[in-house]
Amino acid sequence: MDGFDEAAVKKEFNISQEKAVPVLVAVGKFSPSGKLLPRAWRKQVKEFSKIV
């Protein structure tokens, strides 16, 4: 998930503006007729880490 509209989530679920929504967790069952988007590009672990 690349992010979400926190204001829209608060409105939909009637959450006060004083509260923060740090994360959303999607649950459900994938439809066989559905289509997944390709994964976002990510750096390889070896590009930003070093085993010591």
For the chain, the domains span 1-29
Extract the tokens encoding 39. 């994964």
Mean pLDDT computed over 1-21: 91
Extract the tokens encoding 46. 């070896």
Extract the tokens encoding 9. 């989530």
Mean pLDDT computed over 12-32: 92
The secondary element (H helix, E strand) that includes residue 11 is helix 6-12
Cβ-Cβ contacts under 8 Å for 9 (sequence gap 6 or more): 15, 21, 24
23-49 per-position pLDDT tens digit: 999 898 888 898 888 888 888 888 889
pLDDT surpasses 70 at 10: yes
pLDDT on residue 2: 63
